Amino acid sequence: MSRTRRTDEGQGRLGSTLSGLAVALGCVLFLGGFVWGAIVYQPYTVPTESMTPTIGAGDRVLAQRIDGSEVKRGDVVVFTESAWGDMPMVKRVVGIGGDKIACCEAGKLTVNGKEIAEPYLPKGQGPSATGIPTTTVPQGRLFLLGDERSGSLDSSVHIGDSSHGTVPRSAVAARVDAVAWPMDGMLARPTGFEALPGGLSQPGPLRLVLAAVVAGAVLVLGGAAYGPIAKRASKGRGRSRASAGERALAG
């Protein structure tokens, strides 16, 4: 009987130690994930429908803080350009410095003469509402369009100004990785730009951040639940041994 009690006590101490370690590790992962996310990402609310159906008006997005030099074609970016307004705007980059942009004699947007597939456009809508004359993007600048071309105040609208409708890379504050509310998830990669020099940007660490937070929550809850479960199991074993002893005496 004493050997059984010592075994139970040893198992209990080990379980308590492992439970404490699980809770501690879970706290590190959970809080660390939130801190990591707050450092790398910033939430924005999109005020207009210029990026529908990719992002709707009022949607809450998570955008990775980046330097403008990291931007590539196809990226959906958050930027501020005083000539376009004083508030942050969200548009898609379709051209970078040196690119020749045109639309739409062949029925598609072209970059350096290559037709670009744009599956993110609204169904039934063409690649441009107004047509874009052949324009060369100045070095260090970006040509941006909304996915909802018919109502987007983008580079196609400002193309007549001295910068040919472009904005400097330095105007970019972040790159959108996901729509957080409603929970539409990660943005699809715009493969139409993949064959152009420079390729596509890689998604940020959002999935790793979320995995750390979820794993941390599971460890904290699991570790915290161990104590009550182990206590109930111990009482159950105690009652079983007592019943077995009573039956042995009765026999």
Amino acid sitting at position 34: F
> Are the beta carbons of 146 and 154 closer than 8 angstroms?
yes
- As a dihedral over the C-alpha atoms of residue 81, residue 82, residue 87, residue 90, rounded to 10 degrees, the angle is -20
Q: Which two structure tokens, joined as six digits, stand for 138?
A: 């100045």
Residue among 50, 152, 156, 201 flagged as catalytic? 50
91 is catalytic: yes
Residue among 91, 108, 152, 201 flagged as catalytic? 91
> Are the beta carbons of 49 and 90 closer than 8 angstroms?
no
> Are the beta carbons of 91 and 145 closer than 8 angstroms?
yes
List beta partners, residue 172.
79
50 is catalytic: yes
CA-CA distance, 101 to 99, in Å (whole number)?
6
Residue in the structure block whose two tokens are 């196609």: 156
Catalytic residue positions, numbered: 50, 91
